[in-house]
């Protein structure tokens, strides 16, 4: 008779300090179960019985006995710790829309700059459904508090180590920026490296005014800064905890250059980085999503185990959904919606490919072959990138996202073409083979996740014919080693 | 957006000049075409608007784009001649999506009335002649102004087409004024021209140049509100406006928990509320203030 109610293996957080004897009776009176209540999260009862712990659907049971939780106190509680902009900008925006979609009233309670709470109530009955506490904390503190269960959810920009489940909910990038009074619009990679290392300590060395360069850097982006300045020696710099302060310091000072997060560009002017070969990498929503702009960072929601209340799990699922992407974008971050870039917007890249081919007839034939293949297509803003010489896939979440989009019907009427490219290091024939191998590896990984069989998945490789960045820097080469995803009408 | 701007300054300049001209022509149209509003008084809680008796005294005041002046002599004659004690509410549209609100309640001098519009609910005080007037931002295109004075509820609707071209943040409280909004527009520092606050609230007409303005309502002791409004539609400026709130440590606020409600543009396209419960420092710090950086997120305005 206990057929419908038994759910095995669920582990739920005790949301109410519940303990004591309870008697649970099904609405038709046919099932009666007695035991010690272990937990109740508004969705499930977990009861210790003579036969061991049992989890039951709370919606179909009546509870009697001293251990029964007070229904008025059945409120999901969760604690979130994280970066100030995520706690005060991103999460509230997402929560407010999440509440609206679930028919809940949203209210934010602000205590001070580091402490907030969000309350979600049923709109019609005013019954409190959830209280979520938010605290501003650094990434190390978040990691500790997740491990010690002092918070249920971490919101940071640093990937976690250890047994932490993490979901990427947004992207950010580090962009060299100057004040509006600074006339510069572009920097070569070598110039940027010179400014960061102190080799170029005066703007006059770059044809500007006689002003000492003042360097402003964000805290917590060390690895990204290092990728822009591989020789590791940094000039004297002012480090800023808050991205907004960093941005303001740069905006106020014509002599300043800062590496400013894209989400905090504020009143500064972002510079375009160009390579010695002339290829430029502006930081835009599309180039960051496609990781064509290489100095990016992910924003994570992190949790330990499966101990979150249902509403927290639902919220994480919402934050990753297509519906959440416009909110993430409006909050100033780069979202992960899969966008499309038409062939006509690839002009610079094609021009570069043609110029690079020069008088080499074989190379020109390869370029023509590539153009013929892609001419009618659209490039997705989802790109897979690889370590030097390897065809090991790096991004499993991206594979899943693409598979979900295919199964969700986003690309109906199209074939999906995986197009491999390589850097220009090594012999051409080898590069073509390597790019094909990478494209096939991505195709296989995606095909393994796709349920539908009516969308053709094809793979091809063109080697080094269409570089996106110059091969003279490690990050330039990494940008070039890629598998692009294209759609072609069937 | 920014690097584009620096690459193509001439085109932006043209765009900016065009926008300013467009805005100015709108301003002129409004100045010429704005009609004085009709007066509507709603007795009690009844929703049916009832036109007022059209005695010469009750004729609507012509609305100029300066605060109407009431020479004392004229005012005395006027207030002694109004015998019916009927309070009147006059609302008219003014530039920068604002409403000019005039309350005349000659039988209720020095009395507190409650003003409501959009999220605003604030006590305001009539003067010795029973008058109160203010210019307030319209929160909606179909703005509804409500004033409760004594037993009377006065209501007036006004269509403000350009209301959706503005974004607002608002802070509202009961009790003495503790909070002050500071808006630092596009990189402005303290006391600079782009620092808008109650010490430099700026005129709504500043919106023509893409700047914001601050509206203060209420009196020092009852309830109060501060509203910062900035145009986002026809924007000659782009960039970030930083918003902070100062909480003054005063004799009445020190060592207390002070409360307020904050409103800001939310992701659902409507105002999103925050309840503020702020523990103030001890009374040894009277004269200082707490600065809240994160109550309001920055406003990011982009050229469209």
- Mean pLDDT by groups of 10 residues along chain A of 490 residues: 35 47 84 81 74 75 81 79 94 96 95 95 89 93 91 91 89 94 89 91 92 93 82 87 93 95 94 82 89 88 78 90 94 93 82 82 88 91 80 76 93 95 89 93 94 94 88 84 94
A100 interaction partners in chain B (CB closer than 8 Å)? 268
Question: In sequence order, what are the residues at sequence separation of 6 or more whose Cβ sits closer than 8 angstroms to the Cβ of residue B74?
Answer: none
CATH code (residue A223): 3.40.190.10
How close is the nearest chain A Cα to the Cα of B70, in Å? Answer: 44
**What phi and psi, each to the nearest 5 degrees, are found at residue A454?**
-90, -5
> How do beta strands A214-218 and A256-261 pair?
parallel
Q: Does an H or E element contain A480, and which?
A: helix A474-480
Question: How does pLDDT run across B102-122, given as a tens digit for each residue?
Answer: 999 999 999 999 999 999 999
- Is residue A426 a contact partner of residue A435, using CB atoms and an 8 Å limit? no
Record the tokens describing residue A455, joined without a space: 């969308």
Judgement on whether residues A344 and A485 belong to the same structural domain of the protein: yes
Which tops the pLDDT comparison, B38 or A74? A74
- Alpha-carbon gap: A347 to the closest alpha carbon of chain B (Å): 18
Q: Tell me: do A145 and A261 sit in the same domain.
A: no
Beta-carbon contacts of A263 under 8 Å, excluding residues fewer than 6 positions away, are A85, A172, A243, A332, A333, A334
Chain B interface test: which of A97, A117, A269 (most B C-beta within 10 Å): A269
Between residues B75 and A447, which one has the greater pLDDT?
A: A447
On whether residue A278 sits in a domain, the answer given is: yes
Chain B nearest-CA residue for A333: B300
Burial of A57 (0-12, 13-18, 19+ CB in 10 A): middle
Which DSSP symbol is given to A271?
P
Residue whose structure tokens are 């918003």: B243
Query: Which of B2, B9, B192, B259 best probes binding to A when mutated, by most A CB atoms within 10 angstroms?
Result: B2
Using alpha carbons, list the distances in angstroms from residue A377 to A348, A416, A418.
16, 10, 12
| Structural domain harbouring A53 | 21-73
Among A residues 141-200, those touching chain B with beta carbons less than 8 Å apart: 180, 183, 185
Q: Give A327→chain B minimum CA distance, Å.
A: 7
In a shared domain, residues A242 and A210: yes
Count CB pairs under 8 A between chains A and B: 84
pLDDT of residue A217: 95
Mean pLDDT in residue range B65-92: 60
Option in B6, B267, B276 nearest A97 (CB)? B267
Are residues A317 and A435 both part of a single domain? Answer: no
Give Cα A168 distance to the centre of its chain: 4
Are residues A436 and A351 both part of a single domain? yes
pLDDT over threshold 60, residue B32: no
Closest CA relative to residue A136, chosen from A15, A242, A259: A242
Predicted confidence at residue A15, as pLDDT, reads 45
Would you place residue B42 in the very low, low, confident or very high pLDDT band (cuts 50, 70, 90)?
Answer: very low
What does the pLDDT read at residue B177? 85
Distance (Å, rounded) from C-alpha B171 to C-alpha B87? 28
Instruction: For chain B, give the DSSP string.
Output: -HHHHHH-HHHHHHHHHHHHHHHHHHHHHHHHHPPPPP-EEB-TT--S-EEPP--GGGSPPPP-SSPPP--HHHHHHHHHH--S---EEEEEEETTTEEEEEEE-TT-TT-EEEEEETTEEEEEE--TTSEEEEEEE-SSSEEEEEEEETTEEEEEEEE-GGGGGEEEEEEEEESS--EEEEEEETT--TTSTTEEBTTB---GGGGGGT--EEEEEE-SSSEEEEEEEEE-SS-S--EEEEEEEEEE--TTTTTSEEEEEEEEE-TTSSEEEEEEEEEPPPGGGTT-EEEESSSSPPEEE---
Q: What is the ipTM of this complex?
A: 0.81
- B5/A247 touch (CB, cutoff 8 Å), yes or no: no
- What is the phi/psi pair of residue B115, to 5°? -100, 135
Where residue A61 sits, what CATH number does that domain have?
A: 2.30.30
What are the phi and psi torsion angles at B103 (to 5°)? -115, 130
Whole-number Å distance between alpha carbons of A415 and A401? 17
Kindly identify which residue of chain B lies nearest to residue A184, measuring between CA atoms. Answer: B6
Q: What is the band of B20 on the pLDDT scale with cuts at 50, 70, 90? A: low
The answer to whether the Cβ–Cβ distance between B187 and A266 falls below 8 Å is: yes
Distance in Å from the first CA to the final CA of chain A: 54
Tokens read off for A405: 């989009």
Of A38, A73, A108, the domain-final residue: A73
Residue A393 lies in a domain: yes
What is the DSSP code string of A305-347? TT---HHHHHHHHHHTSGGGHHHHHHTTSB-----EEEGGGGH
Would you say residue A13 lies in a domain? no
pTM (global) more than 0.90: no
List pLDDT tens digits, range B228-258.
Answer: 999 987 555 678 999 999 999 999 999 999 9
For residues A365 and A474, membership in a common domain is answered with: yes
Taking only the tens place, the pLDDT of each residue in A433-454 is 999 999 999 999 999 999 999 9
Q: Where are the alpha helices (DSSP H) in A118-188?
A: 139-147
Last residue of a domain, one of A73, A90, A109: A73
A182 occurs within a structural domain: yes
Same domain, residue pair A157 and A223: no
pLDDT at residue A182, as a whole number: 92
Note whether A380 and A442 are same-domain residues: yes
DSSP of A102-130? TTEEEEEEEEETTEEEEEEEETTT--EEE
Comparing B16 with A250, the larger pLDDT belongs to A250
> Which tens digit of pLDDT belongs to each residue from A236-274?
999 998 899 999 999 999 999 999 999 999 999 999 988
- Pairwise CA distance, residues B257 & A143, whole Å: 32
* Summary mean pLDDT of chain B: 79
Question: How confident is the model at residue A228, as a pLDDT?
Answer: 81
Tell me: do A140 and A239 sit in the same domain.
no
Indicate left, alpha or beta for B92 from its phi (over 0: left) and psi (-120 to 50: alpha): beta
Return the pLDDT at B18: 54
Do B294 and A113 count as a contact with CB atoms less than 8 A apart? yes
Say if residues A195 and A235 touch (Cβ distance below 8 Å): yes
Q: What is the CATH number of domain B40-51+70-159?
A: 2.60.40.10
**Confidence check: pLDDT of B44 > 90:** no
Kindly calculate the radius of gyration of chain B based on its CA atoms and give it in whole angstroms: 21
Angle at the Cα of A59 from the Cα atoms of A55 and A63, rounded to 5 degrees: 75
- Position A268 in a domain: yes
Contact B5 A330 (CB under 8 A): no
Distance in Å from the first CA to the final CA of chain B: 10
- For residue B3, give the nearest of A113, A247, A271 by CB distance: A271
CA separation for the pair A357, A363 (Å, rounded) = 5
**Paired tokens of B14:** 């043209």
Question: Are A417 and A456 within 8 A, CB to CB?
Answer: no
Q: For residue A8, give Cα distances in angstroms to A12, A56, A57, A305.
A: 12, 9, 11, 16
**Structure tokens given for B246:** 């100062």
Pairing status of strand B289-292 against strand B239-248: antiparallel
Same domain, A384 and A482: yes
Do A441 and A309 share a domain, yes or no? Answer: no
For residue B145, pLDDT beyond 50: yes
Angle at A209 between CA A203 and CA A212, to 5 degrees: 45
Q: Are A310 and A193 in a shared domain? A: no
Identify the closest residue of chain B to A326 by CA–CA distance. B267
Cβ count near B44 (within 10 Å):
8
pLDDT value at residue A378: 94
Please tell me which residue of chain A has the smallest CA distance to B185.
A267
pLDDT greater at residue A198 or residue B21: A198
pLDDT of residue B210: 84
**Dihedral in degrees, nearest 10, Cα atoms A76, A82, A88, A92:** -30
CATH of domain B165-301: 2.60.60
Instruction: Give the pLDDT confidence score for residue A71 in this predicted structure.
Output: 66
| pLDDT at res. A436 | 95
Domain count, chain A: 4
- The pLDDT of residue A82: 95
The residues spanned by each domain of chain B are 40-51+70-159, 165-301
What pLDDT was estimated at residue B4? 46
In this structure, is residue A1 part of a structural domain?
A: no
Residue A192, H or E segment: helix A189-197
The CATH number of residue A97's host domain is 3.40.190
CA distance B299 to A122: 30
Whole-angstrom Cα distance, residue A443 to residue A422?
16
């Amino acid at each position: 008779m206990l057929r419908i109610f038994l759910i095995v293996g669920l582990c739920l957080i005790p949301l109410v300090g519940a303990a004591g004897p309870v008697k649970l009776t099904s609405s038709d009176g046919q099932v009666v179960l007695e035991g010690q209540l272990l937990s109740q999260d508004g969705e499930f009862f977990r009861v210790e019985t003579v036969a061991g712990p049992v989890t039951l659907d709370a919606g179909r049971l009546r509870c009697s006995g001293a251990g029964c939780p007070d229904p008025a106190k059945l409120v999901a509680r969760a604690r979130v710790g994280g970066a100030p902009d995520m706690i005060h900008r991103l999460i509230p925006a997402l929560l407010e829309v999440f509440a609206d979609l679930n028919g809940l009233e949203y209210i934010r309670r602000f205590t001070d700059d580091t402490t907030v709470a969000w309350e979600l109530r049923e709109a019609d009955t005013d019954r409190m459904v959830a209280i979520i506490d938010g605290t501003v904390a650094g990434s190390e503190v978040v990691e500790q508090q997740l491990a010690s269960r002092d918070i249920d959810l971490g919101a940071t920009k640093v990937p976690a180590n250890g047994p932490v489940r993490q979901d990427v909910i947004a992207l950010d990038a580090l962009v060299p920026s100057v004040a509006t009074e600074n006339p510069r619009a572009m920097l070569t990679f070598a110039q940027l490296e010179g400014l960061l290392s102190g080799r170029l300590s005066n703007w006059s060395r770059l044809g500007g005014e006689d002003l000492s360069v003042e360097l402003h850097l964000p805290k917590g982006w060390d690895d990204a800064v290092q990728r822009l300045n591989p020789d590791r020696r940094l000039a004297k710099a002012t480090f800023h905890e808050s991205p907004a302060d960093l941005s303001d310091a740069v905006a106020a000072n014509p002599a300043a250059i800062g590496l400013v997060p894209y989400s905090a560009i504020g009143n500064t002017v972002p510079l375009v980085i160009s390579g010695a070969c002339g290829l430029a990498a502006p930081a835009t929503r599309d180039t960051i999503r496609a990781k064509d702009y290489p100095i990016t960072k992910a924003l994570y929601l992190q949790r330990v185990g499966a101990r979150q209340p249902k509403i927290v799990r639902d919220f994480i699922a919402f934050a990753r959904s297509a519906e959440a992407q416009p909110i993430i974008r409006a909050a100033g971050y780069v979202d992960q919606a899969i966008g499309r870039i038409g062939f006509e917007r690839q002009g610079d890249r094609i021009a570069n490919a043609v110029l690079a081919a020069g008088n080499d007839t074989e190379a020109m034939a390869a370029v023509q072959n590539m153009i013929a293949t892609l001419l009618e297509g659209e490039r997705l803003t989802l790109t897979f990138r690889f370590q030097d010489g390897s065809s090991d896939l790096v991004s499993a979440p991206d594979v899943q996202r693409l598979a979900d989009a295919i199964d969700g019907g986003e690309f109906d009427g199209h074939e999906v073409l995986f197009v491999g490219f390589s850097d220009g290091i090594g012999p051409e024939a080898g590069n073509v083979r390597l790019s094909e191998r990478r494209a096939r590896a991505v195709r296989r990984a995606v095909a393994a996740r796709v349920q539908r069989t009516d969308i053709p998945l094809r793979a091809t490789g063109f080697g080094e014919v269409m570089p996106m960045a110059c091969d003279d820097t490690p990050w330039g080469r990494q940008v070039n080693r890629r598998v692009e995803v294209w759609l072609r009408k069937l | 957006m920014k690097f584009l701007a620096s690459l193509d300054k001439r085109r932006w300049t043209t765009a900016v000049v065009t926008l300013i001209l467009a805005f100015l022509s709108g301003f002129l149209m409004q100045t010429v075409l704005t009609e004085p509003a009709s007066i509507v008084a709603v007795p009690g809680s009844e929703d049916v608007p009832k036109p007022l008796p059209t005695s010469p005294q009750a004729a609507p005041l012509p609305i100029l784009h300066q605060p109407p002046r009431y020479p004392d002599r004229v005012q005395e004659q006027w207030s002694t001649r109004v015998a019916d004690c009927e309070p009147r509410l006059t609302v008219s549209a003014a530039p920068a999506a604002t409403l000019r609100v005039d309350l005349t309640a000659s039988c209720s001098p020095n009395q507190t009335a409650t003003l409501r519009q959009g999220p605003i609910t604030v006590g305001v005080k009539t003067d010795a002649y029973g008058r109160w007037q203010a210019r307030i931002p319209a929160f909606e295109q179909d703005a509804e102004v409500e004033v409760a004075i004594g037993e009377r509820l006065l209501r007036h609707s006004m269509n403000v087409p350009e209301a959706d071209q503005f974004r607002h943040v608002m802070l509202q409280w009961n009790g003495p004024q503790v909070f002050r909004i500071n808006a630092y527009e596009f990189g402005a520092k303290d006391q600079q021209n782009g620092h808008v606050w109650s010490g430099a609230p700026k005129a709504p007409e500043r919106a023509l140049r893409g700047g914001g303005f601050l509206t203060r309502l209420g009196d020092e002791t009852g309830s109060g509100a501060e509203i910062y409004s900035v145009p986002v539609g026809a924007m000659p400026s782009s960039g970030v406006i930083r918003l902070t709130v100062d909480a003054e440590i005063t004799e009445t606020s020190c060592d207390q928990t002070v409360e307020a409600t904050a409103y800001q543009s939310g992701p659902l396209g409507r105002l999103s509320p925050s309840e503020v419960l702020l523990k103030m420092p001890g009374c040894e710090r009277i004269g200082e203030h707490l600065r809240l950086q994160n109550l309001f997120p920055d406003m990011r305005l982009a050229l469209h």
